[in-house]
Amino acid sequence: MSLGKLDKILHKDGFILYISGAKEKGKTDFSLLLAEYCHLKGFRTKLTTNIETESYMIEKQITNLPDLQAWLKEKGRKLFILDEAGLSVAKLRFMSQINVEVMKILQMIRHYDAGFIGVAPSSKNVDSTFMDTDILDAHIKKLRKDTAIVKDYLENESYFLEDICKTSINFNSKHIAEFKLEKEIRREELPICCQIALSYTDTKNFADTAKLFKLSTEEVKRKVIDHLKHSQITNNNYHGGMVNHKSSPETVKSPLS
C-alpha cells in the first residue's frame, strides 16, 4: 500500500504521528520521506526538524524548545520532526519541564496549523502521554527498511505500507539529534563584558585575557567588574538589570567575531 493511504492524516490540521522500530530499520529516513511527501503534495509548506540535514525542503534545524515555540507561531502550514524523541521526551522524566512543555505543544498543535512526527525505537522510551490515542493519529512501526505497519487511530484500522523508498533528503545518520529545554548561546553572541569574564574564568589570568582582547590589564579588570554588576540580577531588578546589560556601549572588538 502506498503513502497515499496516509493522505487524510497528513493533510489534517494538527496531526501527530509516532514512528518506532528497531535500529537500522530506517525510522529517521522514513520520517523525512513523509516530510518530503507532505512538501511535494502541498500539505505542508514549512518543514523543520532537529535532524542535521541540508535540503531546500527543510527550512532550518531546530534543537531547542524556545526556537520551536517561536517557529510554531509563524504563518504557514508547518511540520516538525522530533528525532530521538526517547532522549528528549524520556519516559523516566515524567512531568519534567521539557516533557510538560512538549505535551502542551502537542495538545495545541492544531492551533499552530502544524503537524508533528516523533521518532523513537519503542514506546517504552517516550513519555506515556505522547502515546495517548486521544492525541495520536497513528503509530507507524518500521518492520524493515521497505515495510511498516500502521495503527491508524483516525480511521480505527491497521494496514501495511510496502515498497517504501528512501527519502531524497540527505541527512547525517551519525548525528545525535538533540532537543533541549533551553537555547544554547554561543560565547561570541554574548556582550563583550561576558566574553571577557568567561575568558578570565578560563585563563585565571588578567594579562592573558588582555592579550586576547587587545586591551590593557586595567581595562580587562573594569570589564570584569562591569560584568559582575550586570550579573547581579534578582527577581526584583531583573528588567532593569537586563536593560543596563544590553544598553552598555560596546567599544571592544571580540576576538571571536
From the list 101, 110, 104, the residue with the least C-alpha distance to 137 is 110
Q: Are 157 and 198 within one domain?
A: no
From the list 252, 250, 247, 177, the residue with the least C-alpha distance to 215 is 252
Cross-strand pairs, 79: 47, 115
Which H or E run contains 100?
Answer: helix 97-107
Whether 74 is covered by a domain: the verdict is: yes
How far apart are alpha carbons 163 and 233 in whole angstroms? 59
How many structural domains does the chain have?
2
Tens of pLDDT, residue by residue over 127-177, are 887 888 888 999 999 999 999 999 999 999 999 999 999 999 999 888 889
From the list 59, 68, 60, 61, the residue with the least C-alpha distance to 105 is 68
**pTM greater than the 0.75 cutoff:** no
Whether 252 is covered by a domain: the verdict is: no
Whether 128 is covered by a domain: the verdict is: yes
Whether 175 is covered by a domain: the verdict is: no
- The pLDDT value recorded for residue 239 is 41
CATH code of 109's domain:
3.40.50.300
Place of cell 526584583: 236
Q: Are 150 and 194 within one domain?
A: no
Q: Are 35 and 118 within one domain?
A: yes
Taking each helix axis from N to C end, the angle separating 206-213 and 217-231, rounded to the nearest 10 degrees, works out to 100
Q: Which domain holds residue 157?
A: 3-161
Tens of pLDDT, residue by residue over 76-114, are 999 999 999 988 887 655 567 888 888 889 989 989 999
Q: Are 156 and 239 within one domain?
A: no
What average pLDDT does this structure show over 216-226? 88
Q: Are 77 and 131 within one domain?
A: yes
Are 106 and 72 contacting, i.e. CB atoms less than 8 angstroms apart? no
Phi, psi of 205 (to 5 degrees): -145, 120
Q: Are 145 and 211 within one domain?
A: no
Whether 177 is covered by a domain: the verdict is: no
Q: Are 197 and 153 within one domain?
A: no
Whether 172 is covered by a domain: the verdict is: no
Whether 101 is covered by a domain: the verdict is: yes
Whether 180 is covered by a domain: the verdict is: no
Q: Are 156 and 58 within one domain?
A: yes
251 pLDDT band (50/70/90 cuts)?
Answer: low
Are 82 and 119 contacting, i.e. CB atoms less than 8 angstroms apart? yes
Q: Are 117 and 53 within one domain?
A: yes
